[in-house]
Structure 1
Amino acid sequence: MSIWYLAFFTGFFGSVHCLGMCGPLAFAVPSRHSGWWMVLFDKLSYQFGRIISYSLLGILIGFVGQQLWMSGLQQFVSVVSGLLILVAGASRILKFRTSIGTENGIGIFNRAFTYALKHKANHLITGMLNGLLPCGFVYLALAGAVTVGSPVGAMNYMALFGLGTLPLMLVATFGFGMVGPIFRRKINQAVPYLMVCLGLWFILRGASLDLPYLSPKVAPQTEVCN
C-alpha cells in the first residue's frame, strides 16, 4: 500500500472517531448566514482550517523526520512509530491507561477556543484551533508522517489525512446527521484494531524484509526524499 493512500484512509476510517471527539466543537460554532450555500461555505472553511493546522504540524514533524533520515535512521523511525501506534491501540483493546500529558494542552486549547467563539472568530480560524486540539488520532497520523523523511512529504501526508476526515465531518456539521450513535460506537470499537494493524505495518516497513508492499527492501539513503 502506498503511504499516501495510507494517510488518506487513516483519516477516512478514523473520521467517525473525529466526529465523536471534535464533532461537538464543530457543532458549537454557529453560522451567521441564512442561505445554505453560505452555511456550506462556513462549514467548508472550518474543515479546511483543520487541514491547514494538520499540514503545519506535518511540516514541524517533517523537520524531525528529515534529520533522522539524514542520520540513516529511517528504518528505526518506522519501527519506533509502529511500536508507539501498537501500544496505543493495545491500550484501548486491553483497557489499560497510557498517559501522554495532554491535560495542560487541552486546557490551553479550551481557553483559546472559548476566546475565539466569544469574539466571533470566523470558521477558518476556529477550524485551525480545532486542528491543534491534542488528539490521539492526530498523534497516530503524525507518527506516520515522521517516517516520510521530509517536511514537504510530511505536510502532504498530514494534508491527505485531513482530507480523509473531511467527507464525514462536513456531512455531519452541515446538518444531515447521517451517522447514528450505535454506528459511531461500533466504529470506535474497531479503531484500536485498525491502529494495531497500522502499527504492525510500520514495524514491517522498517524491518526491510524484502516483502513486496508489506516490507520492501530499503536501499541506503544518499539524499532526503521529497
Structure 2
Amino acid sequence: MNPSGLDLPPLLAAFVFGLLGGAHCIGMCGGIMGALTFTVPPSMRSPLRMGGLLLSYNLGRISSYMTAGALVAALGTLISLSLLARLLLQGLAAVMLILMALYIANWWKGLLGIEALGKRLWRHIEPVGRRLMPVVHFPQAFALGAIWGWLPCGLVYAMLAWSLATALPLQGALLMGAFGLGTLPALLATGLAARKLGHLIRQPATRTLAALTIMAFAVWQLWALNAHSGDHASSHSPTHSSSHPASHSFSHTIH
C-alpha cells in the first residue's frame, strides 16, 4: 500500500477482528456496561436516554483506542528508521494477530500474560473512572468510556502492535478506530439480543472460524513481508543494481 494513505482491506480487517472478538469484549466490558445501566436513577432510564449514554460511553472507549493507536504508531515512526527494524515491527504485528486468534479460540491464553503488563498503570486509572459513577449525563458517559478504554486487554494490545507497525499516527488511529467500531455490536446489544449474540459468539465453531480467519490474515501478512524483503534484497544485488536503484523505498506490507 502507498504510505500516503490507508486502503480499505486493513481497515476492514480491523473492523472484522473487532466483531470476532465480541465474546471477549462482553466478558471484559459487559459488567461495566451493566453497572453503567443500573447506577442510573430509575426516573432517568428512558430507552432513548439509556441508548445515548451507552453510545457515549462506547465513543469515549473508541476515542481512547484511537489515541493509543496514534501514540504507538508515532513510536513506531522513531523505531522503524532502518529496514531491519521495519521488518521486525511488521513481523511482531503478525505474530500478535496469531496470538489473538489463539486467545479467541481458547487454544492458548498467552495474551493474559501481556494483559498483566498493563495492570500496574490500570491501578492508577481505575479510581478516576469510579468517581464518575453514577453516570447521568452524556459527557460523563463519554469521559468514563475514555477512561475504561485503557482497561488491560490482550485483544487491544494485539491491535496496538499492528498500529505500531504502521509507523504512521493517522493510520494507527484509524486501525484502532475500525477495531473499536467492530466491537460495538456486542457491547450495544441488550436484553434478548445480547443473550442470542453472546450465545452465538461463544459457540466453539464460531470461535474457531474467527481464529482461523485471523490466522489466515496474519500468515498472509508474513508471506507478503517475506516476499517484499526478498524483492528488496534482490534490488540491491549486483545483477539488479542498474534496474533497481539503491534509493528504492521499502513498501510496508501491513499498510
Scaled by the length of structure 2, what TM-score is found? 0.70
Match 1:84 to one of 68, 84, 96: 96
Give the match for residue 213 of structure 1.
none
**How has the CA–CA distance of structure 1 residues 67 and 46 changed in structure 2, closer, same or farther, with 3 Å as cutoff?**
same
Size of the aligned set, in residue pairs, is 215
Contact in 2 for aligned 1:58/1:158 (Cα 8 Å): yes
Give the match for residue 147 of structure 2.
129
Match 1:20 to one of 12, 16, 27: 27
**How has the CA–CA distance of structure 1 residues 222 and 199 changed in structure 2, closer, same or farther, with 3 Å as cutoff?**
closer
2: CA distance, partners of 1:222 / 1:94? 33
Moved more, 100-109 or 121-130: 100-109
**How has the CA–CA distance of structure 1 residues 164 and 95 changed in structure 2, closer, same or farther, with 3 Å as cutoff?**
closer
Q: Please tell me whether residue 99 in structure 1 is matched to residue 113 in structure 2.
A: yes
Which 4+ stretches in 1 moved above 4 angstroms? 87-92, 94-98, 118-121, 191-195
Q: Please tell me whether residue 220 in structure 1 is matched to residue 252 in structure 2.
A: no
Q: Please tell me whether residue 36 in structure 1 is matched to residue 47 in structure 2.
A: yes
Radius of gyration: which is bigger? 2
Identity of aligned residues (%): 22
Match 1:153 to one of 152, 158, 171: 171
Superposition deviation, residue 88 in structure 1: 5.3
Moved more, 108-117 or 11-20: 108-117
Structure 1, residues 164-191: CA drift from partner, whole Å, max 9, x if none? Answer: 111221123x884343654343268435
Moved more, 153-162 or 73-82: 73-82
Letter in structure 2 aligned against 1:143: A
Give the match for residue 208 of structure 1.
227
**How has the CA–CA distance of structure 1 residues 38 and 98 changed in structure 2, closer, same or farther, with 3 Å as cutoff?**
closer
Map 1:161-176; keep pairs closer than 5 Å: 161-172=179-190, 176=193
2: CA distance, partners of 1:123 / 1:175? 24
Letter in structure 2 aligned against 1:49: G
Superposition deviation, residue 131 in structure 1: 0.8
Give the match for residue 2 of structure 1.
9
Letter in structure 2 aligned against 1:185: R
RMSD: 3.2
Superposition deviation, residue 62 in structure 1: 1.1
Scaled by the length of structure 1, what TM-score is found? 0.78
Give the match for residue 194 of structure 2.
177
**How has the CA–CA distance of structure 1 residues 119 and 163 changed in structure 2, closer, same or farther, with 3 Å as cutoff?**
closer
**How has the CA–CA distance of structure 1 residues 127 and 67 changed in structure 2, closer, same or farther, with 3 Å as cutoff?**
same
**How has the CA–CA distance of structure 1 residues 38 and 75 changed in structure 2, closer, same or farther, with 3 Å as cutoff?**
same
Gaps of 5+ in 1: 211-218
Give the match for residue 113 of structure 1.
129
